[in-house]
Amino acid sequence: MTTDRIWSYPPQVGRVEGQDLTGFTVVAADGTIGHVDREADPFGMRHLVVDTGVWVFGRSVLVPVGVVAGIDTDDRKVEVACSRGEIKAAPRFRIDSETMDPDYLTRVGEYYHSLPPRTTATA
């Protein structure tokens, strides 16, 4: 099985092409992790860069869009189907140029692809 699906929004999340998620709150299965700083799609590897604020000592994390479990446009919220601990344990995102590094993105995709599947997140 390939990790290709990890880089595409699941069809059931209601993502509208061209929708800007910048500023949306990101909620994991066990609580809020931060807000969407930006979305990128280099090499067809679409992902969100999430500013975690003080939660992970002010660092950002990279989250492939394939783990998005839902988008609530009215509440400006993106739910992801993984836990805060799983996100924190992902390959560390250090500098913006990593979003253009296919090797780094591949490691991130493999990590998230290996997580146990979840269908929904809860606020």
User: Within 13 Å of residue 57, how many CA atoms lie on the same side as its CB?
Assistant: 4
- Classified as helix, coil or strand, 53 is coil
> Taking the domains of the chain in order of start, what are their residue ranges?
21-113
Residue 26, token pair as written in the block: 């990101």
pLDDT tens string 37-65: 999 888 889 999 998 877 666 678 899 99
Supply the DSSP symbol for 15: P
pLDDT tens string 80-119: 999 999 998 888 888 777 778 889 899 999 999 999 876 5
CATH class of 21-113: mainly beta
Q: In sequence order, what are the residues at sequence separation of 6 or more whose Cβ sits closer than 8 angstroms to the Cβ of residue 90?
A: 61, 62, 63, 108, 111, 112
Residue 43, token pair as written in the block: 């090499």
The pTM of the whole model exceeds 0.75: yes
| pLDDT grade for 76, boundaries at 50, 70 and 90 | very high
